[in-house]
């Protein structure tokens, strides 16, 4: 019996630890050959010995389990290093079939005290990093489709966040980047569908090194798997990367703790038409002021209710 991803080649960014590690291991378990990307070079561990580095350690773990994997330590926020990442996969495995964008950093601060550098760093790694890898993967799939004379196999799984959906007061940079990733995902989904490529985004909730402060107040039960363990997220990534998910495109899914929720696209809540050729201030005041007077105080476009999602 063949594995779901057998014969397919994948990239997972930010895969040296946490979510990316769990996702890379899952893709390897399902049969994919994996390029494990994690920015940084080998160094010395706590004992002073030379360490292979997180990316190579995860790649070695996949190989030990009988899979195929190699490490890449490039920075996905750098355009040329992202090109090298995609070219490394194609060079090693002959093609690229799956791209999982997970790499990210946090620089949390309120908007009135955030520095330009803190804003730029997060946008660069998350949003630009997603674009960079997609740019070169998309060109690869487009060229393959032209040569094949029809659609090829391609899967993109991007990483957004509930910080975008619900609004996160102390993370304006992160929330903005994650919202941008959703826009990038839906645009990519429409652009690449004719080539046989799907693009979807997930909003994972997981306890990792990056989010340990965020989830410090979430107690971990002593029994069974931590509800915030990255291993709850990885199976959905494996599924979205598989042939079985071919009809799923341009979607946003929340996943954590044994639960997956499909997020519906925004809907128009109300519409107002001017009685004249165009609106005046007075007409807008007469229409919008009473409308918002009847809405719940403090309600915004943010979907705060997603933070209450739990496995039943």
Active-site residue list: 161, 174, 178
Name the token pair of 176. 């903005």
Q: CA 194 to CA 215: how far, in whole Å? A: 40
CB of 155 closer than 8 Å to CB of 98: yes
Q: Taking Cα atoms as reference points, which of 4, 25, 170, 187 lies closest to residue 102?
A: 25
3-state secondary structure of 16: coil
Place of tokens 């001017």: 274
The SS3 of residue 70 is strand
Q: What are phi and psi of 128, to 5 degrees?
A: -65, -35
- Assess contact for 88 and 72: CB atoms under 8 A: yes
Query: Whose CA is closest to 188, among 148, 157, 143, 151?
Result: 157
**Sheet with strand 259-262: strands edge to edge:** 69-72, 33-37, 9-12, 98-100, 154-159, 197-204, 252-256, 259-262
């Amino acid at each position: 019996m063949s594995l779901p991803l057998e014969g397919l080649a994948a990239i997972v960014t930010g895969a040296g630890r946490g979510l990316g590690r769990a996702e890379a291991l899952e893709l390897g378990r399902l049969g994919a050959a994996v390029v494990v990307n994690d920015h940084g070079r080998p160094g010395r561990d706590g004992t002073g010995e030379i360490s292979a580095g997180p990316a190579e350690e995860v790649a070695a773990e996949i190989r030990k389990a009988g899979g195929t994997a190699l490490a890449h330590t490039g920075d996905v926020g750098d355009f040329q290093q992202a090109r090298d990442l995609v070219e490394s996969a194609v060079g090693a495995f002959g093609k690229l079939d799956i791209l999982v964008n997970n790499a990210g950093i946090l620089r949390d601060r309120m908007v009135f005290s955030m520095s330009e550098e803190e804003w730029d760093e997060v946008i660069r790694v998350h949003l630009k990093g997603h674009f960079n890898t997609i740019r070169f993967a998309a060109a690869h799939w487009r060229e393959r489709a032209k040569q094949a004379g029809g659609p090829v196999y391609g899967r993109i799984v991007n990483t957004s966040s509930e910080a975008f959906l619900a609004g996160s007061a102390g993370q304006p940079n992160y929330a903005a980047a994650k919202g941008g990733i959703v826009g990038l995902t839906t645009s990519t989904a429409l652009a690449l569908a004719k080539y046989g490529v799907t693009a979807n985004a997930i909003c994972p909730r997981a306890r990792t090194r990056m989010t340990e402060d965020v989830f410090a107040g979430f107690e971990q039960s002593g029994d069974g798997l931590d509800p915030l363990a990255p291993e709850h997220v990885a199976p959905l990534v494996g599924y979205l990367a598989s042939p079985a998910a071919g009809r799923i495109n341009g979607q946003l899914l929340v996943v954590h703790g044994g639960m997956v929720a499909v997020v519906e696209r925004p809907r128009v809540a109300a519409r107002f038409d001017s009685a004249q050729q165009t609106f005046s201030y007075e007409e807008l005041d007469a229409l919008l002021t009473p409308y918002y007077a009847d809405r719940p105080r403090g309600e915004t476009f943010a979907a705060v209710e997603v933070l209450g999602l739990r496995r039943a």
